[in-house]
A and B are shown apart, each in its own frame.
Chain A
Amino acid sequence: MVGMKIAGIIFSPIIGVITGLLLTGAARKMVARVEWRYGPPILQPVIDLIKLFFQRPPSHGKTFDYGLIASLAGSIVLVLFLPVGRLCPLSEGGGLLLITYLILIGPLGMALSGGEGANPYVSIGISRKLILSLGYEVTLLLILLSVMSEYDTISIFNVVRAQSENGWSLFSWPLVIPGLAYLLILPAILGVKPFDVASAPQEISSGPHVEYGGKYLALSKLEGGLSEFIGIALFVNLFLGGWSIPGSLHLPAGVLGVFLGVLVFLAKVAFVFSLNVTVSASFPRLRVEQAVKYLWSWPAFIGLVGLIIVSAL
């Protein structure tokens, strides 16, 4: 058990980082295919990353450096508290409430770092990011509360385990309602089109990332990939049963089972991600107030109905 814990501590951040990078690569490829282009190789983000670490970037000061370091460190720590397949080193402790707070460190660290960059594009990007976050958090909190009330626990680990016994939340009554709401806000959580208001490359020059070059850009790309992974992993854990396979199939025990569990989990992550890429490839960007108006209309309404039904039953 201790061995598995150590393995989890070592491997789950690595899996998170690599998956995040590969997903961004795959997304570029998929969008290119939708647009009838050939697209870059899937490994392009990794190649870029290596290149960036060897460039000599400008720095705007101490907060500029340490904010970014804190941001990436916060996101990696968050992965330790998320079940990645059956690797769940620290996820018994704190649970979903801790995750809702740990998830703040990444964006806030990035915001502090960018803030010292003294560039209005950064500030506009952060302002939009915070407004958009408020937009989807209202619904996300309703969803999380529905899940926690339904399973009567605050531990994400218990939620995943309960699903491996009773079937996935997304296909069970009444959690299907918050599940639908989650699907509606997932593109906003990931910050892909039509909700890429915070980065908006053509409009505010990538927003918070505008002052980054070299290793700063590399670290922020790592953080970006990781936060996409986290956003989807949370959905997979809460609604698609984490590592569990539907039906009467069961994973074998032991190391092989852990390995297969991670694979099943990653397959689900990749599937959900590709759904979002399809959405992203087909819609133009919204303005931030349009995005908030959307997020506070149907998704929030469905989330509220879900919470009312869950707490009434």
Chain B
Amino acid sequence: MLEAILVVAFGGALVSYFLGRWTSRIRDYFALGVWIAILGMTSYLHQIEPKISTFYPGFLGYDLSLRITSLSWLFAVTVAAVSVLVIIYSFRYIKGHEKRNLFYFLLLLVNGGMMGITLSGDLLSFYIFWEIASWSTFLLISFNRGKALPAGLRYVVMSVIGSAAMLVATLSLYSSYGTLALSDLSTHLATAGGGYVIFIFLLFFVSFGVKNAIVPFHTWLPPAHSEAPAPFSAVLSGLLVKMGTYGLILIFYLIAGMKIFLGLGTGIWSFHYIISALAGVTIVVPSFIAVLQDDAKKTLAWSTVGQAGYIVLGVSFGTGLALAAGIFHFLNHAMFKSLLFMSIGTVERKTSTRDLNELGGLVKRTPVLFVVTLVGAAGLIGIPLTNGFFSKWMLYKTLILEGNPFLAFAALVGTWGTVLYSYRLIHNVFFGQLPEKYRDVTRTSFSTYLPMVILSIAIVFFGVFPGFLLGEINVVTTSLGFTPLDVQLWGISSDSGTVNTLNILAALAVVGVMVWYLFRSSAETTEVSQEDSYTAGAPVPQGRFTYTADFYRPLEKIIRPYLKDRIEDFYGMLVGFVGVLSDTVRRIYTGYVGTYVAYILALLAAVLLVQLGWKPW
């Protein structure tokens, strides 16, 4: 079964490429069919006994294997589900682009690579699938050429550094223990010394940190996310980045185990606490950098970095509730961020801009798009009754009750950054007067809406009934050695404060209906045009009577000096230094034969000198 999934995934990618040369319509449906089949097969594996199967015996004298656990199942099924939705979304989006076959091929390859990552049973096959996903990601990021090329290049340089770190760690583990199977490594690592474990952890942390965009490895992400084609941005942000999270959980909790991971060092100088602190920085700074962006996709990209901080904080903090919150937030983030990238992608396709200062008034033209974007933004902020609320609530609760108010403060302040940029995103795209040039923006097609509507329903559904997902997550955290949580359909019950989503829903529904009734039963309203607004008697200007540019200007003036991306500057300095160094080295090759003859003569002279016994006088 596990092999079958991968065969279908990679075979499907190849076949759809060649199908596309014949007819594009069949290619689209074939790609969709492949991933629906994979989703079906993966869901069939639900709560199966953990099992291992060798799929390639004797690769360089080493057996490659696949393995499924509750953890990998959860990630695999998320990958499959979001992939299906993204493929549906791509139908319309990619129409009219060049090289559509290549796009589908690469998209299916990335998704297949991610399935492989989640299902690998040993670190070598993990590395192979990791590389497949990474390289096809590079090609997809730079798919649009132009500005996308340097973005892709930046990604690939950082990705190679991460891969190299992973390879070193993998080889070191192999030379120490003679095995790379995940199940065997856990027994070996239990007896390893603390120094060696930290060495391995650091290497893997660099590798997964690059992918997960943890500060200071985040600089590749904003340009990559904003320049990639929108369907792929959704995959990139919702899934691919979170393969780093999967890797971190794998190495910290599955291979090393909770005892080793939480036992390195004491107090605030322990390994997991330092990572938590890094995650705290990753939440706060990028969330406020996102507030300052004028590009809608760049806002979302920085927001991805910030939300990744919440997930990593949950994974590294080291309580069962925190880990559950981290995994839950990963699932939620896959939903709302894919949705937001899709909707902004649609806006960009309709208006051919994503500059927040240019857009406006689209609520009148595309009401459905507005509603789904609003739901996505609500999930991102964490408004109660959307899924993002519950995962963040769990995280805050454990941070506070475990006596870490400063980490909780970082997480809560990050939420305010989220409120600011999410509202600005909604306001500048959908509100204000509708400019003349967008008067004829049409509603978009069914296949574009369908994935967004499904995702927004999921966001609300899992916000009201978080228990469905928490039940699955509970199995995962329990299998990693944490005490089980008391999961109910409406949340988690515990002595130290519970939140009941059904109470909130009931209260909001009843009160909402009452207020609505009061609203309906009082005097009638008359609908007026957008030009009919208050200007203290002055005539209303047409089209651009809108306040969008520099929306947070008073705030910007205060915070911008503190939010310079110093790490970016540092890397820039590094690049400049390497450039100067290489330039100096290059100067040796002048291109004149005379110079080279002079080099040869000088060398000969030096050799003779040494031969004579270094006695020039």
Contacts and interface: CB of A to CB of B under 8 A. Distances in A.
Interface string B395-434: 0110011010110110011001001100100110011111
Contact of B528 (A58, A97, A121): A58
Contacts of A69: 512, 515-516, 519
Interface of A: 13, 53-63, 65, 68-70, 72-74, 76-77, 80, 90, 93-95, 97-98, 100-102, 104-105, 108, 111-112, 115-121, 123-124, 126-128, 130-131, 133-134, 137-138, 141-142, 145-146, 148-149, 152-155, 158, 205, 210-211, 214-215, 218-219, 287-289, 292-293, 296, 307, 310-311
Contacts of B530: 60, 118
Interface of B: 361, 363-364, 367, 370, 374, 381-384, 389, 393, 396-397, 400-401, 403, 405-406, 408-409, 412-413, 416, 419-420, 423, 426-427, 430-434, 496-500, 503-504, 507-508, 511-512, 514-516, 518-519, 522-528, 530, 532-536, 545-548, 551-552, 554-555, 557-558
B436 to A, nearest CB: 14
Most central of B370, B382, B400, B536 by chain A CB within 10 Å: B400
A311 B405 CA distance: 8
B383 A101 contact: yes
Contacts of B408: 145
Given A93-B499, A102-B384, A149-B405, A111 B423 contact: yes
A83 to B, nearest CB: 14
Given A105-B383, A123-B427, A288 B420 contact: no
A137 B416 contact: yes
B498 to A, nearest CB: 6
* A-B pairs with lowest CB-CB distance, top 8: A115-B431, A94-B499, A123-B547, A120-B547, A59-B525, A145-B405, A73-B512, A289-B554
Given A59-B525, A93-B499, A130 B406 contact: no
B488 to A, nearest CB: 12
A105 B515 CA distance: 15
A193 B141 CA distance: 51
A211 B558 contact: no
A116 B363 contact: yes
A90 B416 CA distance: 25
B409 A54 contact: no
17 contacts: A53-B523, A60-B527, A61-B363, A65-B525, A77-B508, A104-B381, A112-B426, A119-B533, A120-B546, A120-B547, A124-B547, A141-B409, A141-B413, A154-B397, A210-B533, A210-B534, A288-B554
A13 B168 CA distance: 63
A313 to B, nearest CB: 11
A243 to B, nearest CB: 20
B497 A311 contact: no
Given A94-B497, A118-B546, A145-B412, 20 more contacts: A53-B522, A58-B527, A60-B528, A62-B367, A69-B515, A90-B507, A94-B504, A102-B384, A102-B504, A108-B381, A112-B374, A118-B432, A118-B433, A119-B535, A120-B547, A145-B409, A148-B405, A149-B403, A215-B523, A292-B555
Given A70-B512, A121-B534, A154-B497, A127 B552 contact: yes
Contacts of A13: 511
Contacts of B522: 53-54, 214-215, 218
Contacts of A205: 534, 536
Contacts of A108: 381, 383, 419, 423
A69 B512 CA distance: 7
A100 B420 contact: no
Main secondary structure of the interface of A (DSSP, over half): helix
A63 to B, nearest CB: 6
B515 A211 contact: no
Nearest to A77: B507
B275 to A, nearest CB: 20
A134 B409 contact: no
A127 B547 contact: yes
B524 A56 contact: yes
Contacts, number: 219
Contact of A307 (B405, B551, B557): B405
B551 A123 contact: yes
Contacts of B524: 56
Contact of A118 (B382, B507, B533): B533
Contacts of A77: 504, 507-508, 511
A77 B383 CA distance: 13
Contacts of A111: 423, 427
A289 to B, nearest CB: 4
B398 to A, nearest CB: 10
A115 B427 contact: yes
A138 B403 CA distance: 19
A205 B533 CA distance: 12
Given A115-B430, A120-B546, A123-B546, A101 B523 contact: no
A59 B528 CA distance: 6
Contacts of B432: 115, 118, 120, 123
A12 to B, nearest CB: 11
Given A13-B511, A115-B427, A211-B533, A153 B523 contact: no
A216 B413 CA distance: 32
Contacts of B545: 118-120
Nearest to A129: B423
Most central of A59, A62, A73, A126 by chain B CB within 10 Å: A73
Contacts of A153: 496-497
Contact of B400 (A62, A118, A154): A154
Contacts of B523: 53-57, 214-215
A219 B519 contact: yes
A97 B554 contact: no
Contacts of A214: 522-523, 525
Most central of A13, A117, A141 by chain B CB within 10 Å: A141
Nearest to A291: B554
Contacts of B406: 307, 311
Nearest to A154: B497
Nearest to A100: B412
Contact of A94 (B500, B519, B528): B500
A68 B600 CA distance: 84
Given A56-B524, A69-B512, A118-B432, A97 B384 contact: no
A62 to B, nearest CB: 8
Contacts of A124: 547
Given A101-B383, A118-B433, A205-B534, A90 B426 contact: no
Given A102-B384, A111-B423, A134-B420, A61 B364 contact: yes
Nearest to A219: B519
A214 to B, nearest CB: 6
A148 B396 CA distance: 11
A72 B432 CA distance: 23
B209 to A, nearest CB: 27
A101 to B, nearest CB: 5
Nearest to A135: B555
